[in-house]
Structure 1
Amino acid sequence: MTEVVSPTAAASGASATERFQERAKSSAASDAARLDAIATDALAALHEVIRKHQLTYDEYNAFKAWLIRVGEDGEWPLFLDVFIEHEVEKVANASREGTAGSIEGPYYVEGAPEFGAEGTLPMRDGEGGQPLRFFGQARSVSGEPLAGAVVDFWQADDDGLYSQFAPGIPEWNLRGRFTTDAEGNFSIHTIHPAPYQIPTDGATGALIAAAGWHAWRPAHLHIKVSAPGHQLITTQLYFDGGEHVGDDIATAVKDALILAPTAASSGAGEEVRYDFVLDPA
């Protein structure tokens, strides 16, 4: 392994902000009536907090200064994805019958290297972490295997760092896109990721420290699964008994998304199966 150099909040935030802005260019805006209703209710909720806690001008000015710093640090994607996205995800996926969703988070990157139904993620020589084989099947809610489904996969390394968001890590390290075989099967060779703290040297970290919260996320795998005629599912998978599974700072863990790996049949590391069930579009 190379020497670990932790990313700063500013550097990580700038990268996340840039990527979000690129992807958001194609996002559809709400109509005026809906935007009016949402903005009015959001402001009313904030006004209620002010009245409930009898906010002082000193506190109000500290809040304004903090909002400005969040922008200067480029941390809006981090802050929103950690503290807000889990509720948006619940609403967006409330009617799903198939696999449960979870947050995407700020570290997704489009265009990862493509593999067939089985492959090993790009890794550095001597990549840390216990070997992990992650495999399963993509199928529809009716039980039909989904051949040619795309399993877009990314994760942190054994130090809790993501490629393209931390210095010194190869561009596509631990990122890849896999295409299921005729029976909807896939198999990904990777390593067991580590729990990690979100960056704490910026505005988000200042809030966490001031409120006496912790900044930890449990170890997890990120996956997007898509197939023609079916809804894309974005989710995260966690590990049974893992540190911070019960108190994730992002409030994104669901019981249905917890894995229980066993010793690999190959004798090297662990393996775990998880099938993805996609709802019709």
Structure 2
Amino acid sequence: MSITDDAPAATAAASGASATARFHADKSPYDAVRDTPKERVSLLAREVLEAIHDTIRKHHVTYDEYNALKAWMIDVGETGEWPLFLDVWVEHVVEEVANASRVGSKGTIEGPYYVPDAPEQGADGTLPMRDGEPGTQLLWSGTVSSTDGTPLADAKVELWQADADGFYSQFAPGLPEWNLRGTFTAGQDGAFRIRTIQPAPYQIPTDGACGRLIAAAGWHAWRPAHLHVKVSAPGHQLLTAQLYFPGDPHNDDDIATAVKPELMLNPQPQPDGSAAVEYGFVLDPA
């Protein structure tokens, strides 16, 4: 029996609850905006509400539709799916605005499944995985440098990815705690080598509130195959990105609208059936 034959039965509610709990544990969002002027809070809140009001007037929204929206929003909260909803349909625009002035490598969304402090694997290591982890073996080589070309010794490359069934460790049952999650520290020349597996496309959870929206709107739930990374070095801006693979049928219609041409890998088949790819990062000074 293969690993995928006995895949864990992840649910939207369980994944949502884990994502919400992780968000509360890892972030202190109110601290960062505690000193925001009341005028800006009022401006943003009023414009969001006005956009909703304009949509209601433009499309003559009925009370039945309004109540359905209210019930759906309650369901999103009860299942803990707000991190999923916001990261899939909103975060890509926040990222676009926040990083508009970046000179170095492009970034994209973080998504809801990041976990800090993944195990250290050195400058040349293998991502933790199960025996027989499904997927094409992938050797990824690269360097981390500053925008002036200086190699960034000891730069951190945090890597996490879904397994072949689209599940992330710590957000689905039955997976080892740090499965397909690791931290790599570049050498003195800024270089790193990572051994992992090439991920597969997957659907975001569809058995909960977000799935009901997708079904009601006639959308699809697919994300293209991707590797998540956070790249950091002292004195430089943190880079959060996802790296994609050519030929994926959902590169052009990613439900999260997170694909950028600059983030496309070019893996080369190897004689032993594995693949090798070179891709590095350029970090902007802080």
Using the alignment, how far apart are the partners of 1:53 and 1:271 within structure 2? 51
In structure 2, the residue corresponding to 1:259 is in which secondary structure? coil
The aligned counterpart of 1:206 is 212
* Per-residue deviation, residues 163-193 of structure 1 (Å, max 9, x unmatched): 1111111000000000000110001100010
Deviation at 1:34, TM superposition (A): 1.6
The aligned counterpart of 1:135 is 141
Residue 281 of structure 2 corresponds to residue 276 of structure 1: yes
Greater CA deviation, 183-192 or 22-31? Answer: 22-31
Equivalent residues of 1:219, 1:243 under 8 A apart: no
- Give the gaps of 5 or more residues in structure 1: none
The aligned counterpart of 1:102 is 108
2:217 counterpart letter in structure 1: A
Deviation at 1:268, TM superposition (A): 4.7
* Per-residue deviation, residues 86-116 of structure 1 (Å, max 9, x unmatched): 0000001100011101000000001100121
The aligned counterpart of 1:23 is 26
In structure 1, the residue corresponding to 2:32 is in which secondary structure? coil
Q: How does 1:75-224 map to 2 (within 5 A)?
A: 75-224=81-230
The aligned counterpart of 1:60 is 66
1:277 counterpart letter in structure 2: V
* Per-residue deviation, residues 225-254 of structure 1 (Å, max 9, x unmatched): 000010000000000111211110000000
Using the alignment, how far apart are the partners of 2:76 and 2:201 within structure 1? 24
1:270 counterpart letter in structure 2: A
Deviation at 1:160, TM superposition (A): 1.3
TM-score after normalising by structure 2: 0.96
Identity %: 64
The aligned counterpart of 2:239 is 233
Deviation at 1:33, TM superposition (A): 2.1
Using the alignment, how far apart are the partners of 1:6 and 1:222 within structure 2? 23
2:134 counterpart letter in structure 1: G
Using the alignment, how far apart are the partners of 2:9 and 2:161 within structure 1? 16
- Give the gaps of 5 or more residues in structure 2: none
Using the alignment, how far apart are the partners of 1:180 and 1:118 within structure 2? 8
Deviation at 1:214, TM superposition (A): 0.1
Using the alignment, how far apart are the partners of 2:61 and 2:149 within structure 1? 55
Using the alignment, how far apart are the partners of 2:253 and 2:126 within structure 1? 31
The aligned counterpart of 1:267 is 272
The aligned counterpart of 2:11 is 8
How many positions carry a matched residue from both structures? 280
Aligned residues: CA RMSD: 1.1
Equivalent residues of 1:150, 1:180 under 8 A apart: yes
1:47 counterpart letter in structure 2: H
Deviation at 1:263, TM superposition (A): 1.9
* Per-residue deviation, residues 196-233 of structure 1 (Å, max 9, x unmatched): 00000000000000000000000000000000010000
Equivalent residues of 1:150, 1:225 under 8 A apart: yes
2:266 counterpart letter in structure 1: A
Equivalent residues of 1:216, 1:244 under 8 A apart: yes
Equivalent residues of 1:101, 1:234 under 8 A apart: yes
Deviation at 1:157, TM superposition (A): 0.9
TM-score after normalising by structure 1: 0.97
